[in-house]
Amino acid sequence: METSANKKSVFLEGVRDGIPIALGYFAVSFSLGIAARNAGVTVLQGMIASFLCMASAGQYALFSLIGAAASLWEVALVTLITNARYFLMSCALSQKIDPEMKNYHRFILGAVVTDEIFGITVNRPGYLDPRYNYGAMAVTMPGWAIGTGLGIMMGTLLPARLVSALSVALFGMFIAVFIPPAKKDKMVLGCVAVSFAAALLFDLVPFLREISAGTRTILLTVIIAAGAAALFPREEERDE
């Protein structure tokens, strides 16, 4: 049986791993706040939107539609489609969930899946411990929301090049998530290489380029993951 100290340790591990993500989120959401400002969104509205929906592409679409005075149905539909890739991540994480985990944990974890939190979670061995994710959320969610609020307040005061440069930090952090396992496992390295090549192909081929970024992510994830699972099946990992 887990002790209180063990539970706290897992939570703090999540906080530790979530801090660099929060810093990256702060930089990216700062530029997101500029888009929110241009759409007429207030600081409070922008921070609430970011706290409840940590998805840069989805929120860019959201604020763009708000600026265009789109209907609520249009906003809901576009945001759903843009963020559809998180369905895949939730399905993948469901394979690491203890069958005895309570439903409210499942709901919360599914509601706050992001690319980066997914990345650090799948790298942990054994069943998913919700306390680890809660620790990561404790720093990443405020970082995203505060960055958006500051972007709305003062984003226009900074040069556009500086804001763009800040946004690169998140990509560097995300690369750091999958490089260590890729160095240890040739299959993971192969998947990463194929993913890069396929993404480049989608960006260069004219008719593929017309596919939205969210749809590209879904297609490539399903195709590459299915191919890797078929060619290099792994034995199921079980906790003792």
pLDDT digits (tens, 9 = 90+) for 74-99: 778 777 877 877 888 888 888 888 88
Neighbour-count burial for 156-177, b at 16+ CB within 10 Å, e otherwise:
eeeeeeebeebbebbeebeeeb
Q: What count of other Cβ atoms lies within 10 Å of the Cβ of residue 87?
A: 13
**Which of 12-16, 24-28, 55-59 ranks highest by mean pLDDT?**
12-16
| Inter-CA distances, 215 with 16, 136, 176, Å | 32, 27, 24
Q: Identify whether the C-beta of residue 23 lies closer than 8 Å to the C-beta of residue 172.
A: no
* 165-169: long-range pairs with CB below 8 Å, 24+: 166/27, 166/28, 166/30, 166/31, 167/27, 167/28, 167/31, 169/23, 169/24, 169/27, 169/28
Which residue's structure tokens are 């203890």? Answer: 98
Question: Of 98 and 4, which is predicted with more confidence?
Answer: 98
Q: How does residue 240 score in pLDDT terms, banded at 50, 70 and 90?
A: very low
Q: Identify whether the C-beta of residue 147 lies closer than 8 Å to the C-beta of residue 25.
A: yes
| Residue 91 φ/ψ region, left for φ over 0, alpha for ψ in the -120 to 50 degree band, beta for the rest | alpha
Question: Residue 237 pLDDT > 70, yes or no?
Answer: no
> End-to-end alpha-carbon separation of the chain, Å?
13
Quick one: tokens of 233? 């099946």
pLDDT on residue 188: 80
Secondary structure percentages of the chain, helix, strand, coil, to 5: 80, 0, 20
Quick one: tokens of 108? 């919360």
Question: Residue 116 pLDDT > 50, yes or no?
Answer: yes
CA distance 141 to 15: 11
Q: Output the CA torsion sign for 134, 140, 146, 148.
A: negative
pLDDT on residue 71: 81
Task: Point out the least confidently predicted range of 143-147, 171-175, 229-233.
Answer: 171-175
Q: Output the CA torsion sign for 76, 211, 209, 224.
A: positive
**Average per-residue pLDDT in the chain?**
81
Quick one: tokens of 62? 């959201």
